[in-house]
Structure 1
Amino acid sequence: MNFIQSIGENRLLWVTLIAWFIAQGLKVLFTLIVDKRFNVLRFVGSGGMPSSHSSFVMSLATGTGRIHGWDSAIFTISLVFAFVVMYDAAGVRYAVGKQAIILNEIMKDYQKDKKMSEEQLKELVGHTPVEVFAGAVLGILVAIWML
């Protein structure tokens, strides 16, 4: 079997990609509902509801458990990996977003007196714990549904 065919038949890979795709699509939908505007860039952007990172890694962990067994080493590795990614999304990356908001405000005040670049830092980088949890639940449900 050739490489491309093997990739195409990798059910676990497809489950994770579909979980990510659904999460990213939901971000566009939630932006439309909450902000009353269509923003297609939310489909590829980070941050927001639900966390596509969490959806991606929890679908991987759940699918791995279903395929290889809940007591397998590979399930344990994928679950620990998922927890690290979700912690990072809700912790470190969320803090970076908060700092960007503060720095952007400082730059606005500074720009009033000085002429300088108006480029702002990206503020929507991480996730709230609710966004991470919603993404994780979505990933679990997609993996259960598809495998």
Structure 2
Amino acid sequence: MDFITELLQNQIFISAVLGWLVAQVLKTLIHLIITKQFLMERMVGGGGMPSSHSATVCALATSVGIKYGGGSFEFAVTAMVAIIVMYDAMGVRRETGKQGRVLNEMMEVLMNMGKQISVEERLKEFVGHTPLQVLMGAILGIIIAAIVMNI
């Protein structure tokens, strides 16, 4: 029980979790406003504005930097993890989403030609992020960490 109590009092952990949670809620609301459709999948799914990956790792790195300082090994590790995660979100994961979109279009063509393809076989297209989505997630994470660490 002490572990859970300590975890819930850990400002660094709380910053990272809140970074993710706030980004996911914002992503869902933005999707609702733009498409006029509520998709619960947006609360846990990847892709979209803002990047919850960026918000999470930037909240983590920022809160570690505030607590241990910019010269600490803890900050160096979390900052490098944040850079790798954000780079991956804009690179490999974004390309995966583009490929998913193309493959889904190809499946539509095959279905129109009479081929039997189930709807469950569609690939996810929201997996990566644009640079703007990553930037907005990063800013969100930094702000959340600054607030949590000053409470």
Displacement of 1:53? 0.3
Q: Distance in 2 between matches of 1:109 and 1:37?
A: 26
Partner of 2:132: 130
RMSD value, Cα: 1.3
Give the secondary-structure state (helix, strand or coil) at the position aligned to 2:20.
helix
TM-score, scaled to structure 2: 0.93
Q: Does the aligned pair in 1 maintain the 2:19–2:144 contact within 8 Å?
A: yes
Aligned residues: 147
Give the secondary-structure state (helix, strand or coil) at the position aligned to 1:122.
coil
Correspondences of 1:1-147 after superposition (within 5 Å): 2-111=2-111, 112-118=113-119, 119-147=121-149
Q: Which runs of 5+ in 2 are unaligned?
A: none
Q: Percent identity?
A: 46
Q: Distance in 2 between matches of 1:102 and 1:28?
A: 24
C-alpha distance after superposition, 1:21-46 (max 9, x if no partner): 10000011101111112222211111
Displacement of 1:113? 3.2
Q: Which runs of 5+ in 1 are unaligned?
A: none
